[in-house]
């Protein structure tokens, strides 16, 4: 059994990692850590885990020593030293934060205010969105797990871009997120009276996922792609709905679009290309690692409307991290992740 450790286990993504690892056939939880709750069991923090995971939160060093793979569910800026320690000890390091996601250090400085502390580690790290960059992930030791919006948007647009069916200019990603994406620490805009019965945009034209989305789409397109990205906060716990707009190239038909998406995704277990006339909905992917995609064409404006839906805590965080662990260790990519979404 692969020994898995979670640093930052009491945050939402960390707790979700524990939940999913508990059902993995070839991995088991070896150690967890939390700065805020060191010495307390995870079930003291989350009552739902009572008698299911009563493991006590230890130190970060204990997690590294006891584990073959370390998942870091930490805010940006806290993962680089840990990655260096793990690499020195021959461990696999999977970062759910942003420290290794951007290839260009200037972008990291601009959007996160930090720098690459270990340039040599950034050179050997891999950005791990499996359905687009799978072959780069196998056997790697330092893995950057994509964010939630940065999973939903590229998956919605990649086949259209890769097959030259849409224009690269003027792409718009209009996205909605459940409140767990804001993390466990309370803030004014996630306070129940502020959030309930409302929906609002936030970080308009300034969200840190923007360069990450553009980086993935540029790799797929083979040239520079810019995106207008606007996120919104939904009064629900889970889910990302990404509604993406792009101008169709002249003469492109709906049949061509479906053929391109079917060809690219037909062997992808976690991507479900929905039938014509069916819209992607976050309720249909809850608690699962699936990404549902629906395609629509506005003939009046010659516009592709590609909609993707994921659970931001699973495919947008912990589930994708385990998918990447499976790839890194040469396991069945779907191991531990075949849970059905609930029907209602």
Helix, strand, coil percentages, rounded to 5, for the chain: 35, 20, 45
Rama region for 330: left / alpha / beta (φ>0; ψ in -120 to 50; rest): left
Tokens 């662990």 map to which residue? Answer: 325
Q: Which of 53, 57, 86, 148 is catalytic?
A: 148
Q: Where are the beta strands (DSSP E) in the chain?
A: 2-7, 27-33, 57-58, 69-72, 92-95, 126-127, 142-144, 171-177, 200-201, 227-233, 240-247, 271-273, 291-298, 303-310
CA dist 24 to 18, 29, 316, 338, Å?
Answer: 10, 10, 18, 10
Q: What token pair was written down for 239?
A: 């889910």
Tokens 């805009």 map to which residue? Answer: 189
| Residue (of 133, 130, 90, 135) closest to 322 by Cα position | 130
> Within 10 A of 169 (CB to CB), how many other CB atoms are there?
9
Q: Is 293 exposed, middle or buried (0-12, 13-18, 19+ CB in 10 A)?
A: buried
Cα(133)–Cα(138) distance, rounded to whole angstroms?
10
Please confirm, yes or no, whether 148 is among the known catalytic residues: yes
Catalytic residue numbers, as ranges: 148
């Amino acid at each position: 059994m692969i020994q898995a450790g979670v640093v930052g286990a009491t945050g939402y993504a960390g707790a979700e990692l524990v939940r999913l690892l508990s059902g993995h056939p070839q991995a088991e939880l070896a150690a967890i850590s939390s700065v805020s709750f060191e010495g307390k069991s995870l079930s003291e923090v989350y009552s739902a885990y009572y008698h299911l995971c009563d493991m006590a939160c230890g130190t970060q060093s204990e997690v590294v020593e006891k584990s073959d793979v370390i998942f870091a569910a930490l805010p940006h800026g806290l993962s680089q030293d840990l990655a260096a320690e793990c690499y020195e000890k021959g461990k696999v390091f999977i970062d759910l934060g942003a420290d290794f996601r951007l290839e260009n250090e200037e972008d990291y400085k601009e959007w996160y205010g930090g720098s690459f502390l270990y340039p040599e580690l950034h050179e050997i790290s891999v950005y791990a969105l499996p359905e687009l960059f799978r072959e780069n992930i196998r056997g790697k030791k330092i893995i950057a797990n994509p964010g939630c919006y940065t999973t939903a948007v590229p998956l919605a647009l990649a086949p259209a871009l890769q097959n030259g069916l849409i224009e690269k200019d003027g792409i718009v990603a209009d996205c909605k997120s459940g409140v767990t994406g804001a993390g466990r620490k309370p803030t004014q805009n996630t306070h129940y009276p502020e959030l309930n019965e409302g929906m609002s945009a936030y970080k308009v034209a300034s969200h840190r996922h923007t360069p990450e989305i553009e980086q993935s789409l540029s790799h797929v397109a083979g040239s520079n792609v810019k995106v207008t990205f606007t996120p919104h906060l939904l009064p629900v716990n889970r889910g990302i709905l990404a509604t993406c707009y792009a101008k169709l190239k002249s003469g492109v038909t709906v049949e061509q679009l479906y053929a391109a998406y079917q060809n690219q995704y037909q062997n992808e277990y976690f991507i479900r290309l929905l039938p014509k006339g069916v819209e992607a909905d976050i309720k249909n992917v809850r608690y699962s690692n699936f990404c549902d995609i629906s395609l629509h064409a506005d003939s009046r404006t010659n516009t592709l409307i590609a909609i993707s839906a994921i659970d931001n805590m699973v495919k947008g965080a912990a589930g994708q991290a385990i998918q990447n662990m499976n790839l890194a260790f040469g396991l069945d990519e779907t191991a531990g992740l075949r849970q059905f979404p609930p029907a209602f």
